[in-house]
């Protein structure tokens, strides 16, 4: 009888101590849940293949990244090639559907907001060493569930608020602040369908961006990537 009481008491106290969790504890649980810092630190290159689904149309894409060196996304729609390249010093974009017919450099402001994408390891892995600062924004409700909110400001000055699901310890939603001509806009994406890859680390295989869903079909960890693909000149 006493044992039962104890276990119930422990369970109950666990419910109440949830409140006292610090942001770093939330992050630690999350890192463990996605495979652990050790495995993530070994991720030096990545290739993600999938499709963008928008209003019933599927647009295949490939994303290739070399840790802190380059990120490139290629997509094709109706024979039109969409390309997006980011490097630590320069970025290029091509999207014939929005009028950018050839690969051309992006502005410094645009680049600054994309520099964080060069970190192909999770943003929370070793975040302090990467120069990011976090702030706990407490608990909140979203889509009927409860989340911890943590705001991260990276060394590039970009702000994102992450919603950690208190039940799964995984990130469910990211709110990014997009800066444009001195004005700030909130954009959000929901991370769905977390799956463990062969490498033992967990990725969301779906990113819901409202009008657009990015669906991952295949992830290759540490493939060989030719660095010349990141040259947009």
Looking at beta carbons only, is 53 or 117 nearer to other proteins?
53
34-93: contacts with other proteins (CB under 8 A): 53, 55-57, 78-80
Q: DSSP secondary-structure letter at 211?
A: S
Residue 221 binds other proteins (CB under 8 A): no
d(Cα 155, Cα 168) in Å, to the nearest integer? Answer: 28
Say how far apart CA 32 and CA 201 lie, in whole Å.
Answer: 10
Region of residue 24 (left: phi > 0; alpha: psi -120 to 50; beta: else): alpha
Write out the binding residues for other proteins, residues 121-160 only, by CB under 8 A: 135, 137-138, 140-141, 143-145, 149, 151, 159
Binds other proteins (CB under 8 A): choice among 5, 19, 107, 224: 5
Q: Establish if 109 lies at the interface with other proteins (CB under 8 A).
A: no
Nearest CB to other proteins, comparing residues 113 and 161: 161
Secondary structure element (H or E) that encloses residue 37, with its range: helix 37-41
The nearest distance, CB 119 to other proteins, in angstroms, is 21
> Which tokens belong to 70?
């380059």
Short-list 48, 52, 50, 65, CA closest to 97: 52
Considering the complex, what minimum distance in angstroms separates the CB of residue 193 from other proteins? 4
170 binds other proteins (CB under 8 A): no
Q: Looking at beta carbons only, is 19 or 181 nearer to other proteins?
A: 181
Whole-Å CA distances, 74 to 19, 71, 83, 167, 212: 43, 10, 5, 35, 16
Nearer to other proteins, 70 or 204 (CB): 204
Angstrom distance (rounded) from CA 182 to CA 194: 35
**What residues make contact with other proteins under the rule CB under 8 A?**
1, 4-5, 8-9, 11-12, 15, 53, 55-57, 78-80, 96-99, 101, 135, 137-138, 140-141, 143-145, 149, 151, 159, 161, 175, 177, 179, 181-184, 186, 192-193, 205-206, 213, 215
């Amino acid at each position: 009888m006493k044992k039962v009481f104890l276990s119930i008491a422990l369970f109950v106290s666990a419910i109440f101590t949830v409140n006292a969790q610090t942001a770093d504890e939330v992050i630690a649980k999350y890192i463990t849940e996605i495979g652990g810092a050790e495995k993530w630190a070994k991720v030096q290159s990545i290739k993600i293949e999938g499709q963008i689904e928008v209003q019933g149309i599927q647009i295949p894409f490939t994303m290739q990244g070399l840790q802190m060196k380059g990120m490139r996304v290629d997509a094709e729609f109706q024979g039109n090639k969409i390309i997006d390249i980011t490097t630590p010093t320069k970025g290029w974009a091509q999207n014939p559907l929005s009028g950018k017919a050839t690969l051309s450099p992006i502005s410094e402001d645009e680049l600054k907001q994309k520099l964080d994408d060069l970190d192909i390891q999770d943003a929370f892995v070793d975040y302090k060493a990467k120069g990011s600062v976090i702030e706990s924004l407490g608990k909140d409700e979203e889509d009927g569930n409860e989340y911890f909110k943590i705001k991260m400001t990276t060394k590039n000055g970009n702000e994102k608020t992450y919603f950690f699901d208190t039940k799964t310890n995984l990130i469910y939603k990211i709110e990014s602040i997009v800066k444009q001509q001195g004005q700030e806009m909130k954009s959000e994406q929901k991370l769905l369908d977390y799956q463990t890859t062969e490498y033992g680390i967990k990725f969301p295989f779906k990113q819901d961006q409202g009008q657009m869903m990015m669906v991952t079909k295949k992830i290759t960890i540490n493939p060989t990537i030719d660095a010349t693909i990141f040259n947009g000149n």
